[in-house]
């Protein structure tokens, strides 16, 4: 009777917590996998949901048209997933497109490469089923109508927010509204690519911009060495303090000037002094956390799943060939890459004592920034002491688990801090513990999980390429982004 009473209490307590949209603890989740793709908006990448069978398109806030700076209505036109042009997604591009909240400045976003007319006003054509895996995941699991990137800029600060809750150099600068706002820039006159290493392993005179609360941008130059090596808590340190494990998978490119490769600037731990623990010449990361928790071959996630070595929390950044970043007409492997990770987890039957990872894993799929594409929903801005760098434009968010109802649509406003809040809640860490983006987020993704319901059976996501292809891919690594 005592056990039955305890179970009844737990069920009632879970129900109360779920009703309030919070992640209850205890809960079945032992693993959280965060897959980060590149540079898309809901209007651009998920237009196919408006005609996807079996769902109500009215539930999805996706537009088929936009407005330019002249007040003209521009119908969104189809383009392939792989294209040969790219759009600016710098902070200045955000300011131009946002246009003081009017959301009519997308035509002022610069384009490079083989640009077409109205290049910003496009959506991915799915007539050849290029993004079927994404649309299947959205229709079979959870979709967020109002997921916004936390920052108003490109990949480097976005990944800092995703992993560490801020792109500021320290907690004090975060609270003062001073943020690193752009991608790093290589030293003048150098043939060195800033994508090769940044943060703690940045070369002398690499630089970035600091954005201040008044909107002014000032150069932050890596002189002396280590200036671009930041010091603040991260989700990794929060997990380690509670005896939990984490892994950050991201691609790398060998740097002949360094003893070990530090990864591209999508490798967020690269910029955190307490994780990297650089040597005196800032050419090598010697930290215990770095050695244990940073993996510079993203395909290793498949072997870790196969060998039942999946960490409590994993961040997975694809190689450029499997990125959704525009500009490469043959780089269309992103949907297959994401589907393969989901399938590896969903089809596992030997880990977790034979229960399989599907029984206790939450998979969160998001995109790091908007990529310069038109999107019709204006973000709310956090003004005041934090300045005006938060929030940025919408990015897609999919939530996949055995406890997520089919075709669930969430209408709460989320950002990267919501993912951190979810991780905290899932593992019994007091929410807002990091005190950065997690403390400012509107929610914790609680609505996506119905723990009071029986877990769903997994069905494989169809995709042209599978995990075996990615494990044995011999093509040289590429950055997920090059701008």
The Cα 419–Cα 417 span in angstroms is: 5
- Per-residue 3-state assignment (H helix, E strand, C coil) for the chain: CHHHHHHHHHHHHHHHHHHCCCCCCCCCCCEEEEEEECCCCHHHHCHHHHHCCCCCHHHCCCCCEEECCCCCEEECEEECCCCCEEECCCHHHHHHHHHHHCCCCHHHCCEEECCCCCCCCEEECCCCCCCHHHHHHHHHCEEECCEECCCCCCHHHHHHHHHHCCCCCCHHHHHCCCEECCCCECCCCCCCCCCCCCHHHCCCCCEEEEECCCCCEEEEECCCCCCCCECCCCHHHHHHCCCCCEEEECCCCCCCCCCCCCCCCCCHHHHEHHHHCECCCCCCECCHHHHHHEECCCCHHHHHHHCCCCCCEEEECCCHHHCCCCCCCCCCCHHHHHHHHHHHHHCCCCCCCCCCHHHCEEEEEEECCCCCCCCCCCCCCCCHHHCCCCCCCECCEEEECCCCCCCEEECCCECHHHHHHHHHHHCCCCCCCCCCHHHHCCCCCHHHCCCCCCCCCCCCCCCCCCHHHHHCCCCCCCCCCCC
pLDDT in the model for residue 331: 77
Could you tell me how many residues make up the chain? 483
pLDDT in the model for residue 193: 58
Rg, Å, the chain Cα set? 21
Pairing label, strands 361-367, 31-37 = parallel
pLDDT in the model for residue 372: 97
Set out the domains of the chain in order of their start, with CATH numbers: 18-471 (3.40.720.10)
pLDDT in the model for residue 19: 37
pLDDT in the model for residue 12: 36
Which tens digits make up the pLDDT trace of 402-437? 999 999 999 999 999 999 999 999 999 999 999 999
pLDDT in the model for residue 349: 95
pLDDT in the model for residue 329: 83
Which tens digits make up the pLDDT trace of 76-103? 999 999 999 999 999 999 999 999 999 9
Mean pLDDT (10-residue bins), the chain, 483 residues: 33 39 85 97 97 96 97 97 95 96 97 97 94 97 98 95 97 97 82 69 92 94 96 97 97 60 77 96 93 95 98 95 87 93 97 96 98 97 91 98 98 98 96 96 95 95 95 79 62
pLDDT in the model for residue 187: 81
């Amino acid at each position: 009777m005592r056990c039955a009473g305890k179970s009844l209490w737990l069920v009632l307590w879970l129900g109360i917590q779920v009703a309030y949209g919070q992640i209850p603890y205890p809960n079945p989740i032992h693993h959280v996998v965060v897959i980060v793709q590149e540079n898309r908006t809901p209007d651009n990448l998920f237009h196919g949901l408006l005609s996807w069978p079996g769902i109500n398109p009215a539930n999805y806030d996706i537009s088929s048209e936009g407005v330019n700076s002249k007040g003209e209505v521009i119908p969104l036109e189809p383009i392939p997933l792989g294209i040969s042009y790219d759009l600016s997604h710098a902070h200045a591009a955000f300011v131009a497109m946002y246009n003081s909240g009017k959301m009519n400045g997308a035509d002022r976003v610069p384009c490079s490469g083989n640009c077409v007319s109205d290049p910003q006003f496009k959506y991915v054509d799915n007539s050849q089923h290029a993004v079927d895996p994404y649309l299947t995941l959205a229709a079979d699991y959870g979709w967020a109508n109002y997921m916004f990137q936390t920052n108003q800029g490109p990949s480097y600060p976005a990944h800092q927010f995703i992993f560490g809750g801020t792109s500021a150099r320290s907690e004090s600068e975060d609270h003062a509204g001073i943020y690193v706002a752009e991608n790093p820039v290589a030293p003048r006159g150098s043939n060195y690519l800033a994508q090769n290493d940044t943060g703690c392993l940045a070369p002398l005179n690499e630089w970035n911009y600091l954005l201040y609360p008044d909107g002014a941008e000032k150069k932050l130059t890596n002189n002396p060495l280590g200036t671009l090596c930041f010091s603040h808590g991260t989700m990794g340190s929060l997990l380690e303090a509670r005896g939990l494990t984490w892994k950050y998978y991201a691609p790398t490119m060998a740097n002949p000037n360094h003893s070990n490769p530090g990864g591209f600037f999508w490798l967020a731990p690269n910029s955190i002094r307490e994780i990297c623990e650089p040597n005196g010449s800032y050419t090598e990361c010697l930290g215990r956390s770095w050695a244990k928790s940073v993996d510079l071959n993203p395909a290793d996630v498949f072997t870790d799943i196969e060998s039942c070595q999946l960490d409590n929390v994993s961040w997975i950044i694809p190689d450029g060939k499997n990125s959704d970043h525009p500009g490469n007409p043959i780089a269309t492997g992103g949907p297959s890459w994401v589907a393969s990770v989901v399938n590896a987890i969903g089809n596992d039957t030997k880990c977790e004592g034979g229960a399989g990872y599907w029984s206790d894993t939450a998979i969160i799929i998001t995109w790091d920034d908007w990529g310069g594409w038109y999107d019709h929903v204006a973000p709310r801005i956090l003004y005041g002491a934090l300045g005006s760098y938060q929030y940025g434009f919408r990015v897609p968010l999919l939530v996949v688990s055995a406890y997520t109802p089919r075709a669930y649509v969430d209408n709460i406003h989320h950002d990267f801090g919501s993912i951190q809040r979810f991780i905290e809640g899932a593992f019994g860490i007091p929410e807002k513990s990091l005190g950065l983006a997690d403390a400012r987020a509107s929610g914790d993704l609680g609505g996506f999980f119905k723990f009071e319901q029986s877990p769903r059976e997994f069905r494989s996501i169809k995709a042209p390429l599978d995990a075996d292809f990615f494990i044995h891919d011999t093509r040289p690594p590429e950055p997920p982004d090059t701008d």
